[in-house]
Amino acid sequence: MHKKLPKIYHYIDKFNYNYIKALHKDIALIFRNYHKKIDENLIKKIKLFCVKNKRKLFISNNLNLALKHNLNGVYIPSFNKNLKINRANLKKNFIVLSSAHNIKEIREKEKQNVDVIFLSPLFKVKKYKNYLNLNKFNFLSKFTKKKIIALGGISQKNINKLRLVNCDGFASISFIKVLNKKCIVSYLLKTK
């Protein structure tokens, strides 16, 4: 079963039409807001926008909502260690994303039956005292056959270093906001 996976992912916590419309069309969205109860009408609105604009949409930590609203998939954060995905209940192209920070979490995510592992943080970020760096990232990526997405600390200064790591794309919480379309197109062309 071959699934067409996005190369660039962006986390959002609200629906800002103009902001999302201005993003490059190949950027997949991950709706993640752990501070509020999820408004299903908001999910419907984002999904409608994504369908019209041929953009992939994932929801964080809520498999039931992803299935109910026929989203492209679900994102399982590293702290969710209990969920086990039963592939028999999923549509053919449903994508399960996840995140991990070390070998133990990589193994947990494999047991959860995910398609993609976001390995993080690659570069220095405020939230974490430690970060992987290029060598440790490459070392950890060899412990799985799952697709790997780089996450954490990616900026204009270090985006070219992504070519030095074993990854199938990258994800961003804040960098996408300042990244121009020309840079995204350049990255996509280099990775095809």
Comparison of pLDDT for 170 and 190, the residue scoring more: 170
150 is a domain residue: yes
pTM over 0.95: no
| Residues 101-126: b if buried by 16+ CB within 10 A, e if exposed | beeebbebbbebebbbbbbbbbbebe
Residue among 42, 6, 5, 12 at smallest CA distance from 176: 12
Query: 110: Cβ–Cβ under 8 A, 6 or more apart, which residues?
Result: 144, 146
111 is a domain residue: yes
123 is a domain residue: yes
2 is a domain residue: no
Task: With a cut of 70, say whether residue 24 has pLDDT above it.
Answer: yes
Strand runs labelled E in the chain: 8-12, 27-31, 57-60, 73-76, 95-100, 116-119, 147-151, 170-172
> pLDDT by residue (tens digit) across 1-12?
457 899 999 999
Main-chain phi, psi angles of 108, to 5 degrees: -60, -45
Confidence of residue 175 (pLDDT cuts 50, 70, 90): confident
> pLDDT by residue (tens digit) across 83-111?
778 888 888 899 999 999 999 999 999 99
CATH of the domain at 177: 3.20.20.70
Domain that includes residue 24, residue range? 8-191
Over range 183-192, report the average pLDDT: 58
In whole angstroms, what is the distance from residue 141 CA to residue 178 CA?
Answer: 28
Contact indicator for 147, 115 with CB cutoff of 8 Å: yes
39 is a domain residue: yes
1 is a domain residue: no
Task: Say how many domains are in the chain.
Answer: 1
Token representation of residue 155? 């900026």
Confidence of residue 191 (pLDDT cuts 50, 70, 90): low
- pLDDT at residue 65, as a whole number: 94
